[in-house]
Amino acid sequence: MVQTETNHKMYSVVLNTLRKKLTAFVCFNLDE
């Protein structure tokens, strides 16, 4: 099913983006 594959890719991109933002946020707070 193409739709499921597309959703999975979108989900992976969103997760990676959130993880990067979370990592940057944590590092920024630790630098304070």
The residue to which tokens 């739709």 are assigned: 3
pLDDT tens-digit map of 3-25 = 888 999 999 999 999 999 999 99
Supply the pLDDT for residue 30. 83
Q: Where are the domains of the chain?
A: 1-32
Assign 12 to helix, strand or coil: helix
* Helix and strand element counts for the chain (H, E): 1, 0
Supply the pLDDT for residue 1. 61
Supply the pLDDT for residue 17. 98
pTM of the model: 0.60
Cα 21 to the chain's mean position, in Å? Answer: 7
